[in-house]
Amino acid sequence: MANAPKPTTVKKESSSASGMFSSLAIPICIGISILVYIFILGNSSHYKGGDPANEAVDVFGLVHKGGFIVPIILSCLLMVITFSIERLVVIGKASGTGSVDSFVKKVQSFLNAGNIDAASAECDKQKGSVANVIKSGLKKYREMELEPALDVDQKTLAIQKDIEEATSLEMPMLEQNLTIIATLVSLGTLMGLLGTVLGMIGAFRTMGAAGAPNASELSSHISEALINTFLGISTSAISIVMYNIFTSKIDKLTYAIDETGFSIVQTFAASHKNVVR
């Protein structure tokens, strides 16, 4: 036990790993999107006569017509997918091996029965961030039972403080990289809008040219505008949905910790209030 890593060290290592994942994932997503735009969407087979200057014959060629904004938006979309998968894995591990609601109910029933050892054993079976915080509170519970120098209120406060400190170590890990997804919500929309504006500028420039406007060139610019609008809005919509899903899951875990932590504190106060009298 003497060589066991401290919780703060473990959290710093996890945070460092998450930061490294972010620094690698972003350029990789950008690189993949550029390659997809050039070699897949820009393949000559998607155009009439095999010439990208001609009208597109399928969806891939149509998307390629969106111009240089397309790989930027594709990068955003790929980042949303990548970081969403990463957050699903992290939050899934934080929830533990079983249902969080069932775990909370079991721990509360053991607390009501005064069986602290069974509650701690349940934490070992559940694992994850919620179980780690609760187990830390139960450990402090046992320490305070053997502490003769403090009164019940001071012991209760010490247990509550320990739970809050354990929570502050566990929960920030769950929110890491969520800021990236939140940023992509706005970035996707803005890039789509930028592509729309550029496409419309090209369309009006074609209409304002001397002589009869080139219908093919005009439709190409309008397609560019609409394609970028569609891609930008779609990316933003997916980002919003995923961000709300993750914040909802984190709120659920936080509530489970608060609910069980309150039960630990109340159980200690109720079972020890007559000891000092």
Contacts of 57 (CB under 8 A, 6+ apart): 46, 47, 48
pLDDT band at residue 27, thresholds of 50, 70 and 90?
A: very high
Distance from C-alpha of 202 to C-alpha of 268, rounded to nearest angstrom? 72
pLDDT score for 220: 79
pLDDT score for 172: 82
For the chain, what is the mean pLDDT? 87
CA-CA distances (angstroms) from residue 30 to 37, 43, 74, 157? 11, 19, 8, 50
Q: Cβ distance 253 to 234 under 8 Å?
A: no
Longest dimension (CA), the chain: 100
Considering only 132-136, 192-196, 206-210, which range has the smallest mean pLDDT? 206-210
pLDDT score for 37: 95
Mean per-residue pLDDT, 64-73:
92
pLDDT score for 1: 39
Cross-strand partners of 47: 56
pLDDT score for 56: 82
Highest mean predicted confidence (pLDDT) among 65-74, 171-180, 264-273: 65-74
One-letter-per-residue 3-state SS of the chain? CCCCCCHHHHHHHHHHHHHHHHHHHHHHHHHHHHHHHHHHHCCHHHEHHHCCCCCECCHHHHHHCCCCHHHHHHHHHHHHHHHHHHHHHHHHHHHCCCCHHHHHHHHHHHHHCCCHHHHHHHHHHHCHHHHHHHHHHHHHHHHHHCCCCCCHHHHHHHHHHHHHHHHHHHHHHHHCCHHHHHHHHHHHHHHHHHHHHHHHHHHHHHHCCCCCCCHHHHHHHHHHHHHHHHHHHHHHHHHHHHHHHHHHHHHHHHHHHHHHHHHHHHHHHHHHCCCCC
Q: Phi, psi at residue 56, to the nearest 5°?
A: -70, 145
Distance from C-alpha of 158 to C-alpha of 61, rounded to nearest angstrom? 65
Q: Cβ distance 132 to 98 under 8 Å?
A: no
Considering only 121-135, 145-159, 197-211, which range has the smallest mean pLDDT? 197-211
Distance from C-alpha of 50 to C-alpha of 48, rounded to nearest angstrom? 5
CA-CA distances (angstroms) from residue 29 to 6, 32, 95, 173, 241? 35, 5, 28, 23, 20
pLDDT band at residue 276, thresholds of 50, 70 and 90?
A: very low
Could you report the per-residue pLDDT of 187-203, keeping only the tens digit for each? Answer: 999 999 999 999 899 88
pLDDT band at residue 2, thresholds of 50, 70 and 90?
A: very low
Task: Determine if the pTM surpasses 0.75.
Answer: yes
Could you report the per-residue pLDDT of 74-95, keeping only the tens digit for each? Answer: 999 999 999 999 999 999 999 9
Mean per-residue pLDDT, 208-222:
73
Structure token pair of residue 102: 């069932």
pLDDT score for 169: 86
CA–CA–CA angle 143, 147, 149 (5° rounding)? 150
